[in-house]
Structures are given as C-alpha cells and as structure tokens.
Amino acid sequence: MTRDELISRTRQLIDEGDRLEAQPSMGALQLWLQLSDDLLATAWGSMDRYHLAWLMVGKPKGIVRGRPMTPDEEAAYVREVVGQKTAALRMSLDAVERQGMPFVGETGGVGPGRGTGEVVAEAPATGDAPGSRRSIPLDPEMQRRLDEARHAASEHTTHDAGAGPAATRRAPRPERLQR
C-alpha cells in the first residue's frame, strides 16, 4: 500500500464514519468496523486485546445485556463506537499525512521528505536545535527556561578542557566505596 492510498482510504473511512454518526445503522457499523480494522492492520500491524482495550474501541459505557437494544439504544451505541474508531482513524491519518511516519504496510510511493518521521508541513519555530523533531511550539515561559539552561550548559563545556583524560566527568564515589 502506498502512502497516498492509505491517506485516501483513511479519509474515505472517516467520511463514512461521519455519515454513520448522522444516520446510525448496526449493519453499516459492522461493515465499516471490518473495513477500518483491515486498513489499520495493513498500515500499522494487528493490535492485540491490550491495545484495543487501551483504545476502548467498541467498549461503550452503557452496554445493554440480556435483551435486544431499542432503536434509540442502538443508535447511541453506533454513535459511540463510531466516535471512538473515527478518533483512531484521525490519529492514523495525522501520523501518515502530517508527521510523515513510516508504516508497516508501506510499499513505495513515498514522496520527498516522507516516511522519515519528520513533520512534513512547515513547523512553527520552536527554538530547538537544528534537526529537532518537535512540531509543537513550547509555552513561551518553558522556552525561555530551556534557552537559559542551554546557555548555562554551554558555558561549562570547556571547564575541564586542560585537565586531560583523567578528568572525564564521573559521579562522585562515596568514601566507603573507595579503596
């Protein structure tokens, strides 16, 4: 599967999920879940029960047991499951499209700058070192503190320069451990 195919198919499934939320149907939900599971497994690999439980996909809060669901309960169930799975599809789309992450089922069609884990779109300036993978700018106060720490660290890069190899930095040894 190429990156463009994954993006296109994920967008189609997200659109179908939006339609399912507007017009819930249990039969359509089952087909949609199977198609989205197949796509995500092809792109990212299969998920075990632990991951599915962590995502809470298909685990509605107020599940009805021991009797058929009323039409209103069925519609609420479909909407809840669709909302959860659509969120997972949106995360997948973001990872492939915006972040350019490589994926398991990738078979070529990777454009320039894609598949490297770097954010493809022009990221806002973060003040990080060149080559940083950060795509979310820091809080201005956090950025100021980070800059101060980097400046303070840069002042100490040469304080042991003339001491030779014996002066390599090590943690201090307690007296009782020294021989």
Q: Is the pLDDT confidence value at 167 over 80?
A: no
Secondary structure element (H or E) that encloses residue 83, with its range: helix 71-97
Q: Is the pLDDT confidence value at 18 over 70?
A: yes
Residue 25 CB neighbours (<10 A)? 14
Q: Give the pLDDT score at 159.
A: 55
pLDDT one-digit tens code per residue, 135-163: 556 677 778 877 888 888 777 666 555 55
Q: Is the pLDDT confidence value at 17 over 70?
A: yes
Residues 6+ apart with CB under 8 A from 115: 3, 100, 101, 102, 106
Calpha distance 49→52 (Å, rounded): 5
Q: Once rounded to an integer, what is the mean pLDDT over residues 11-20?
A: 95
Share of the chain above pLDDT 70, in %: 59
Token pair for 55: 């995502």
Q: Give the pLDDT score at 163.
A: 52
Calpha distance 149→141 (Å, rounded): 12
Q: Give the pLDDT score at 24.
A: 94
Calpha distance 92→103 (Å, rounded): 10
59-63, 101-105, 170-174: least confidently modelled range? 59-63
